[in-house]
């Protein structure tokens, strides 16, 4: 397996790993409830949700870092911007997890009814930082990545266009929620995130299954080796 194929494979796996937090919508339903701090039951679901979100944050940084050596050949500034925006996105995820885990800590400490207002405030803060970190920042990330991939032709341009188009759609949904035109959990707000999710999932699958396409930004030697390995996989295993 060539170094470029390994890079594509790792990046693809990391992109697919960013989808492990999908169950958190259900896992966090109790911890964000009005009376969670004084209610019965285990905290396992909230803790598992926090762990899944941490995995997503680390995987998100990993996608940008792994792709940076390749994308910088197209535009180093934009590639560095992608790394920075992924790190910022991950930072907001970590802070959001800290807010919800603080509610769990208050409950475990037996804070009681006196901490209900604090619990509500922490849950509200989580919703607000989720809006910034997992609505606004992904739009920025996918616009940068979409343009880099479109210009470099590392993946099919149709796939790159999904990111380029999906970013503004998600950004429009974010702005609508910020100005109160849509509720944060309204169906339309959720629909605005579908193109971005489709782009990242499709990109992950493509990189795992196909890897990079021959591109002008790759050296002729590497391009030829990648094409040979793709057409004759057994050749790469010969001594």
What predicted TM-score, i.e. pTM, was given to this entire model? 0.86
- Look at residues 209, 218, 239, 231 and name the one whose alpha carbon lies nearest to residue 11: 209
Q: What gap in Å lies between CA 167 and CA 236, rounded to an integer? A: 38
| Residue 199 neighbours by CB under 8 Å, 6+ apart | 142, 146, 159, 162, 163, 166
Number of Cβ within a 10 Å radius of residue 30: 16
Q: Helical H runs in 18-156?
A: 24-27, 44-108, 116-131, 137-152
Give, for all 239 residues of the chain, the pLDDT tens digit. Answer: 799 999 999 999 999 999 999 999 899 999 998 889 998 878 999 999 999 999 999 999 999 999 999 999 999 999 999 999 999 999 999 999 999 999 999 999 988 888 999 999 999 999 999 999 988 999 999 999 999 999 999 999 999 999 999 999 999 999 999 898 988 888 888 899 999 999 999 999 999 999 999 988 886 445 445 445 555 555 445 44
Helix axes 137-152, 44-108, angle to 10 degrees: 150
What DSSP string runs through 81-106? HHHHHHHHHHHHHHHHHHHHHHHHHH
Helix axes 3-17, 220-231, angle to 10 degrees: 70
């Amino acid at each position: 397996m060539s170094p470029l194929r390994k890079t594509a494979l790792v990046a693809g796996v990391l992109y697919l790993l960013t989808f492990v937090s999908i169950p958190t919508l259900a896992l966090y339903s109790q911890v964000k409830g009005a009376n969670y701090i004084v209610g019965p039951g285990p905290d396992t679901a909230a803790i598992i949700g926090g762990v899944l979100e941490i995995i997503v944050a680390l995987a998100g940084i990993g996608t940008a870092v792994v792709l940076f050596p390749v994308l910088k050949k197209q535009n180093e500034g934009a590639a560095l911007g992608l790394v920075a925006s992924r790190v910022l996105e991950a930072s907001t995820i970590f802070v959001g997890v800290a807010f919800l885990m603080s509610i769990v800590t208050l409950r475990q400490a037996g804070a009681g009814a006196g901490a209900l207002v604090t619990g509500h405030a922490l849950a509200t803060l989580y919703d607000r930082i989720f809006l910034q970190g997992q609505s606004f920042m992904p739009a920025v990330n996918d616009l940068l990545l979409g343009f880099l991939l479109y210009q470099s032709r590392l993946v099919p341009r149709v796939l790159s266009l999904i990111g380029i188009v999906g970013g503004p759609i998600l950004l429009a949904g974010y702005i609508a929620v910020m100005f109160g035109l849509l509720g944060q959990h309204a169906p339309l707000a959720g629909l605005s995130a579908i193109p971005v999710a489709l782009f990242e999932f499709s990109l992950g699958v493509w990189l795992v299954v196909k890897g990079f396409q021959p591109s002008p930004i790759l050296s002729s030697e590497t391009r030829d080796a990648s094409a040979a390995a793709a057409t004759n996989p057994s050749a790469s295993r010969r001594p």
